[in-house]
Each structure stands twice: as structure tokens, then as C-alpha cells.
Structure 1
Amino acid sequence: MAIKELTVVVVVVVFSWIACTSGHEFFSSTDKVAQLFEEEEDLLTSFGLYIDAEEKNVKRMKSILLVLQLLTYFDPANPEKTTRDPVAAYKLLRRVRREWLTIVEYTQLSLYKVYQTLLDYSNIPQAKDLNDAASELIRLQEFYKLYPHNITRETSLNADEAKHMGLVAYDEDKFQHAFLWFLYSLDRLTEHSTTTEKELLRFLSSSAYHFGSLPVAIYFGQRLLNLDPTNDEVKVELNLYRYLRFERNSNPDIFTLDTKSNTSYEALCRGEVDERTSKRQRALSCRYSTGGGNPRLMYAPVKEEVEWDEPRIIRYHDIISDREMEILKNISRPQLSRSETKQGVTNIRTSQSVFLKEDNTVARVSQNIADVTGLSVESAELLHVQNYGIGGRYEPHFDAWDGENDRIATFLIYMSDVEIGGATVFPQVGVALKPKKGSGVFWYNLHKNGRLDWDTQHAGCPVLVGNKWVANKWFREFGQEFRRPCSLSDWE
């Protein structure tokens, strides 16, 4: 087949699975990671067609394709079950990236530019995605005080993957976590690993030194010197470590993580704090509600549960159907983009989101919210759908900002259960709300006098295991004057 004809085949086949002409961020949305299963299948299919069209090196390249296909150990019927585990999601990102680079390596030089274009612009995880995913895993470790063997309980990492985790932690000056990952990698070295024992010993010694654990740095440095007796650089470092050992009094334990929570936010997320005492529990209640006599709820009242009394936080159970949730997710998926804060894209908020335009389903969900809250949706913001990423979180923040026509109230719908983590916590009052699929949580951000209620500061805890989908409806002050009358009192 002529090169020109072959180029046409490759372009038509491979470009057919490109969604758009710009790169995508994967780590900040577990749903985007789950979509990689389809992308991976299409990628390998296109590579197979390329091989069939290629007249040279067919046998060699087909053997490479077979190896890649054997590595795709997944169940495409339900990818969400795999991406619920952040380590499995990281491995998927890494695997698809490696498969793509292998395909590029084995394609004919005359077509390399075609594949290089795809590498830059297709739905393939980039190096930044892998580093960001690893960084989020390390943040999960820090937050929940997890060792490598804890976070890899369901999905283990090989020596090369663990080394990458260590390098990311090392670059972020998180030397204790870097050390623990390098140690994990050392324990998993095999003859098939590209990582070497010398590399790991060097990083173990350096990580221990930067952490301040000089005896450990000396131990691993000496092990490295035993393997490489002529390495003068290691000899110099060992002499320095031995000198500093006698100059310093402290010797922190690099093998043991500090399990103390630094903030009430962390303590709530980890389940260490619960202000709902028996006395406080008696002030809470459950009932069937008609939304203050709303005609649409008279014959179908909703289940209302008071989760907290001050500020008043109410959970409405079964506020949205499974079908409606799936429709909202399907509408959102192609539109999701990285969530922002007032400072733009930051690590404070790790998710992807979209404001949905009104259609029949969105309008029906919004009307249900209006019915149970008694507020008007005419001046409310569009329904906002979010999917959280690997270790997805939203650190403590306020929905209102104490300005004109502020967000008077928030209605938060949980569109998925989350196995571990992902709670909505209110650090100022010490309450944590676990996501429950189909339920919605409602609270006022402002007092009746229009001032910000500082107790409504809240956060989305990092997702440790699971896929977290939520939808927000933010109500504005204007349009609610007769539904929630203002007060001049300083206490309301």
C-alpha cells in the first residue's frame, strides 16, 4: 500500500475517536477517567487497523498489540466500579498513556507526524495528568494519614508505579511520603522492573536526609555504597550525613506518620469529631413535609430530616429519581470542565462541573427543589452539576460572599453514594453529612437581616473510595422578599 493511501487510512480511523481538538484533564473527574475505558478500546482498535494496513513489520507489531491487549485487565461493562478506587484510576491513566507511547514508538516514521498530532490533541492522558493524579493520591495520604500499603489495599502498584509516586512526593518536598513510596517500590522490585535498586537506594537516602532522619539516610547510603563502591558522590554524602548526625539533636521517625488532625475540617472528615450529642439529637427530628402546604406535595409529601438545628440544615430524602439523576449525568458529561474558585483553578477544589441549561428534566428537578424549600427559582442560578476527581475535594468555603443579591440559600443534591470520604462537613458547628444518593441537603447562607451566617462555612471531604456526583441549586436574595421576609434584628 502506498504511503499516501496508508496515511489516509490512519487519519480516518484514528481521528474518528477524537472528541475534540484540544487536550482534556482527567484526574479532576472520576467520570472522565472512566471514559478512558472506551478511549482505550478505540485506541487499540485503531492500532490494529494500522497494523493490518502496514505491509512491513506486521508480525512484530502484532506481537506488541497482543502484549498491550493482555494488559487491559478491566471490566468495560461497569468502569465506575474500577475508578471508585483512586489507585486503580491512577493505574488506568498510566496504562493508557504507556500504551499510546508504545504505539507511537512502533508506528512507521513516515506516519509519525500523524500520530504525534494525535498525541498532542486526542483524549489521551498527558504526563501532567499522571503527575496530578499521583499528587492527589499523596494528598489523600496526608489527609487521611495513610501509608502506601493502606491506600493500595484494593489495587497494588508495581515498583515503577510506586517510584513515580515517590518522585512526585519528592518534587513537592513531601519527603516522608516520598521515602515510604520508595521503600514500597524497593519491596516490589522484580526482574521486569525498569527501576533499579541503586536508584531507589539513592532516593531513600536523600529523602531521609531531607526529612532529618540522618541514621536512616546513612543506612541506605551505605547500602548503595556496598553495591557501588566506586561512587565518590555517595561517599561524600555519607561523610556529610555522619558529620551532621553528631551536630543535630533531633531524629524524627520517618517510618511513622503523625496521625493528629490539624484542623476541625480534617477531624470531621476522618470521623474523629461528632458534636451531635444525645441532648443535641433530641432537638433534631424527622417528618413528612408538604413544603408549607404546597399543592404539589399535599398527596405526595417528602421525607424531611433535620440534620442540625443552628444553623438549620435539612435533608430531604428521595428528592430526585434514579432516572433523573442518570439524565443529569448524561447531559453533563460532554460539558464538564475543571471547577474554579474566585482565584481560578486551584487545588482547593478538585472536580469538574457545568451549569445546565433548562430542559424538561432540569426544570422538573428545579421545581421539586422550589416546592420543598418554598423559595422561588425565577432568580436562582442554573442547576450546577459536579463530578469529583481522584481524591476530589472542596476545602472550607462559603457559598455566599456577603455582597448584593447574594446566595441566600443552598440546595445540594447527592447523585451518588460514596463508600469512603466525600462527606459535607460544617467545621464551625462540628457536623458531617454523609452523601446519600437521591437525597438533598438545604440550608440558608444568610441570616434574615441579610448578613452572612459564618456557621455555614462548609467543605466537601476528599473522596477516598467511590465516585461522587452532586448537583447544586443556589438561590439569590432578589425574588425571595415575600418568601423569606427580611428582618432588622441583629440576631436573625
Structure 2
Amino acid sequence: MRNPVAAYRLLRQMRNDLIYIVNQPNLYQCKKYQNESDANLPDIPQLEDLDGAASGLIRLQEIYKLHPEDITKETSLNADEAYNVGLVAYDEEKFQHAFLWFLYSLDRLTEYSTTTEEELLHYLSSSVYHFGSLSVAIYFSQELLNLDPSNDEARAQLNRLLHLQSNPDIFTLNTESSNYETLCRGEVDERTSKRQRALSCRYSTGGGNPRLMYAPVKEEVEWDEPRIIRYHDIISDREIEFLKNISRPQLSRSEVYESGISKQRISQSVFLGDSPEVARISQKIADATGLSMETAELLLVQNYGIGGRYDPHVDAFNTVNDRIATFLIYMNDVEIGGATVFPKVGVAVQPKKGSAVFWYNLLRNGEVNWNTEHAGCPVLVGNKWVANKWIHELGQEFRRPCSLSDWE
């Protein structure tokens, strides 16, 4: 589903409807239905699935500096749906974003809403207090007391706020952004006209590889230091569809090395064994890069959906037989978002179907090249399919010789 808000609404509605259906007492008179329902209960979207979808919306809001009205331009949320997104933001201590969702919810309250005005005023006061706007927090606490004069908790909260108040604050959103966020928004790109003159395109035979003599690969240098290369048309539409089709039934929530389920990487992924079709793709990678695939990891296919992203990180671990290089294949064009950005050097690489980007994670002296820190920007509209090949040091001794230099 291309619209993240519509996907969130669908997931929420599916959960509510399915729970309502399986809990109908009349239906449980049928023993067969009861057994089938109990067996299928794990397929009902769980609360963590809803929270994950809401967290994706919040991440889009955070990275791309969006208001709820911007995110819901095509598909709106009702008061209850927006309130739940606000609660997730509040629990994640993203109080500025929570405040905006609670305001959005307050503006959409109806007689059919299960969310109450009292709940919203309480969270509006609390969230705005947490990012330092005491005067606005006091205003919402007073509004809550006007609505419910007998609310002792609200009165105590108001007294605390009045005690803390020294100077009235004006509500402003924090405008500080990391280089990662500004790159994702397209506000920064260090590829000046002078720098671009150092970049180049060519047809490459991989240093005289016989397989590439009559079918060279299209090689474009996206950045010179660290050297980031894009290979155009490295994988065919047929190969892409094959990878997607065999991956879909096996996709599971991504994990990060030795740390289990990850909040750093929001995607679904699966490692694919070297079947003949996958082996041919690995051979293409070997031909283009000139590196051996003998100690490379299995091909990792990933799908990024609602707000899917991968926070800034390096691929190397500074261990024996480390990941010397990364080969990242784009399997579709992304409508909005989803760029691969390198915050330390100020470069953003846009996904392009059939192309791949390649870089070395290690310097020739074996040290980690920290300038290769990179991130996957959140997908704003649509989804993103990639395939990743991490290539290891062993077997590359004569293909990429070492250096004793401290900087190489």
C-alpha cells in the first residue's frame, strides 16, 4: 500500500473488526469455528503492529518536518486514530510531535469519538510541558479545570506548573536537525559543481574480466572519498521479480547483528541461499567489483514499508574477517523518500530500479572507514525493495591489497 496513513487505518480497522468477530458469543456455539478461530488468532494484527505503524508516521513527521495535516492530506484520521498516534509519540518521548497529534485529535472530536476532551487536554498540557513551554502547559491545564472543576489531579498539575513558571514561553518547534535528516529532506548535498567535475561515468570491464568484455557494466562515481560507485542496470526486471516472489512468504521483522528485533532498522527481511538464480546475481556482483564472493554473506532482501528506514550506522564491526565492502541493489523506484544518505560526507543517493551502489567499509590498512556511515531515509510514499550483499575480507588479499598507510 503506497499511502502510509491508509495502511495504518487499514491495520487498525482489521484488528478491531477481527477481535469483534472472534469474540461474538453466538459464533462460539460452533465448535469447528471456535477451533479455527483460535488457530488463526496469531494472524490478527497485534498492538505492537499498530504501534509500529504509528511510529512510522511519527518518523516521517520527524525526518521530513511534517505536521499531521501534511501527512493526512490524502487520507485523514479521525480523533481516536490521531489520539493513538499521539500516545505512541508520547511514549517514545517525542513530545513535540505528540502535542501536534493531540491538537489534531482535539480538532476532530465528535459525539461518536471514544477519546474524551479531558484526556486530550491532559496530554496536551503534559506534552507541551516536557519540551519547555510552561505558559502553554498552564493554559491547557486551566482549560481542563474549567471543563472539570472537580479534577484534583488537574488542579495539582496546574499548581506544579504555576510553581515552576518563571518566564512565559512561546511555543515553537525545535528546528535543530541532524545532517542525516537534512539530507533526507534534500536540503543539503555537498556535490557542488566543482566537486562534480571530479566524478565520472564509464563502461567498465572489471579490469579485463572476460565476462564483461562484450557486455561492460555502466559505472558512475557518485562520490570520490569515500568512493561510492553506482552500477546502472546491474539486475534485470526478471531477476527483481524472482527475488521479490521468493522473499515475500519468508519476510520477517529485521534484526540487527547480535541484538534481536530492531528499532534502528524498520523493515522486513530475509536471507536467501545461493540457488542457481541467486548465484547468478552473486556472480554479477563479483564481476562488477572484482571481489571474491567465497566469504560473502548470503543475499539479504529487505522491504521497507510505512516509515521504513535504517538509522545511521556503519556496516563494519572492527572484527576479524570484517565486512570489507557493501553492495546495495535497488529493486524499485521509490515515489517519495527512501534515499541512501552518507551524513559524514553530505551525499544522498536516490533509489533507482535495477541499479546498485557499492563502497568499501574498510580502508586499505584494515581500519574502519567511518566516513562510510550511512542511513536509509524513511519511505514517505510507496515502499522500497533492496537486496544487500556484504562482502568479507578473507579471499580479497590479492584483489584489494593491504596498505601500511595510516590514511589509505
TM-score of the two chains, using structure 1 as the length reference: 0.77
In the other structure, the counterpart of 2:331 is 415
2:256 alignment partner, SS class: coil
Q: CA deviation at 1:411?
A: 0.9
Residue type matched to 2:124 in 1? L
1:102 aligns with 2:102: no
- After superposition, the Cα gap between the structure-2 partners of 1:205 and 1:323, relative to the gap in structure 1 and judged at 3 Å, is same
Q: Which residue of 1 aligns with 2:308?
A: 392
Distance in 1 of aligned mates of 2:254 and 2:48:
17
For residues 90-140 of structure 1, the C-alpha deviation after alignment (integer angstroms, 9 at most, x for no partner) is 11210110110121233524358536624642x221112112221232233
Could you tell me which amino acid in structure 1 is paired with residue 29 of structure 2?
S
Matches within 5 A, 1:204-223: 204-223=124-143
SS at match of 1:380: coil
Q: Distance in 1 between matches of 2:7 and 2:93?
A: 24
SS class of match (1:106) = coil
1:351 equivalent in alignment to 2:267: yes
1:478 aligns to 2:394 (yes or no): yes
Over 3 Å counting, the alpha-carbon distance change for 1:446 and 1:88 in structure 2 is same
Unaligned runs of 5+ in 2: none
What is the letter of the counterpart of residue 99 of structure 1?
Answer: D
User: What is the distance in 1 between the residues matched to 2:198 and 2:40?
Assistant: 59
Query: Which has the larger share of helix?
Result: 1
Q: Cα offset for 1:157?
A: 0.7
Is the contact made by 2:135 and 2:170 (CA closer than 8 Å) also made in structure 1?
A: no
Identity %: 73
Equivalence for 1:370: 286
After alignment, is 387-396 or 202-211 more displaced? Answer: 202-211
- Matched residues in 1 for 2:142 and 2:391: separation? 64
AA matched with 1:249: N
Corresponding residue for residue 151 of structure 1 = 71
Structure number with larger C-alpha Rg: 1
Q: 1:405 aligns with which of 298, 321, 324?
A: 321
Q: How large is the RMSD of aligned CA atoms in angstroms?
A: 2.2
- Deviation track 1:334-379 (CA, whole Å, cap 9, x = no partner) reads 2222222233323111112111011222111111111111112222
Q: Find the aligned partners of 1:340 and 1:475 in 2 and give their Cα distance.
A: 19
Separation in 1, partners of 2:160, 2:2:
46
Structure 2: distance between partners of 1:395 and 1:172: 16
Aligned partner of 1:268 in structure 2 is 183
User: Is the 8 Å Cα contact of residues 417 and 466 (structure 1) preserved in structure 2?
Assistant: no
Equivalent in the alignment of 1:201? 121
Take 1:395 and 1:209, find their aligned partners in 2: how far apart are those partners? Answer: 28
Per-residue deviation, 1:217: 3.1
Match status 1:139 vs 2:59? yes
Deviation string 1:163-187 (CA, Å, 9 cap, x unpaired) is 1112222233333222211111121
Aligned partners of 1:388, 1:357: CA distance in 2, in Å? 21
Q: Does 1:114 align with 2:28?
A: no
Matched residue count: 404
Query: What is the Cα deviation at residue 305 of structure 1?
Result: 0.6
Following superposition of structure 1 onto structure 2, how do residues 51-450 of structure 1 map, counting pairs within 5 Å?
83-108=1-26, 109-110=28-29, 114=35, 117-118=38-39, 120-121=41-42, 123-245=43-165, 248-253=166-171, 256-261=172-177, 263-342=178-257, 343-450=259-366
CA contact (8 A) 1:398 1:457 kept: yes
Q: Does structure 2 conserve the Cα–Cα contact (< 8 Å) formed by 1:385 and 1:472?
A: yes
Q: Which moved more, 1:410-419 or 1:105-114?
A: 105-114
User: For residues 473 and 163 of structure 1, what CA distance do their matches in structure 2 show?
Assistant: 41
Range that drifts further, 100-109 or 127-136: 100-109
Amino acid at match of 1:110: Q
The structure with the greater share of residues assigned to strand is 2
SS in 1 for 2:319: coil
CA contact (8 A) 1:104 1:115 kept: no
